[in-house]
Amino acid sequence: AQKITQTQPGMFVQEKEAVTLDCTYDTSDQSYGLFWYKQPSSGEMIFLIYQGSYDEQNATEGRYSLNFQKARKSANLVISASQLGDSAMYFCAMRENSGGSNYKLTFGKGTLLTVNP
């Protein structure tokens, strides 16, 4: 079974609108971390936001916020006021913190976001 599921292969949004990218995860660990990365066509993976499993508040970083619903095992990324430069592939990733696996990030398949002018 996939540990990270991103069900939207592609998303379109109008400039200045908000968009939500979906991510669900599967783990039996109590302690884990969830990450979102952005990958423009240039290839670099850019860290956007982190949410720890014990964090009670949803993470926010500028225009990015993470809608963390632990019971539903979802960690959706919300981008507010989209900009043309937000067009990129977005990956959700999880780090499980037990059994020596806490080096490893497991990535979802990604969502390609296109921002239209």
Partner 1 sequence: DTEVTQTPKHLVMGMTNKKSLKCEQHMGHRAMYWYKQKAKKPPELMFVYSYEKLSINESVPSRFSPECPNSSLLNLHLHALQPEDSALYLCASSQRPGSSSGANVLTFGAGSRLTVL
Q: How many other C-beta atoms lie within 10 A of the C-beta of residue 66?
A: 24
53 versus 82: smaller Cβ distance to partner 1: 53
Amino acid at 38: K
Nearer of residues 75 and 108 to partner 1, judged by Cβ: 108
Which of 14-22, 48-56, 63-71, 79-87 is the region at the interface with partner 1 (rule: CB under 8 A)? 48-56
**Residue 5: CB minimum distance to partner 1, A:** 12
Lay out the site mask for partner 1 across 69-88 (x = CB under 8 A, - = otherwise). Answer: --------------------
Least separation, in Å, of the C-beta of 2 and partner 1?
11
User: What gap in Å lies between CA 41 and CA 58, rounded to an integer?
Assistant: 29
Q: What are phi and psi of 113, to 5 degrees?
A: -100, 130
Q: How far is the CB of 64 from partner 1 (least distance, A)?
A: 14
Taking the C-alpha atoms of residue 96 and residue 112, their distance in angstroms, rounded to an integer, is 25
Listed in order, strand segments (DSSP E) in 1-117 are 4-5, 10-14, 19-21, 24-25, 32-39, 46-52, 60-61, 64-69, 74-79, 88-96, 105-107, 111-116
Residues engaged in binding partner 1 (CB under 8 A): 31, 33, 35, 37, 42-47, 50-52, 55, 91, 95, 97, 100, 102-105, 107-110
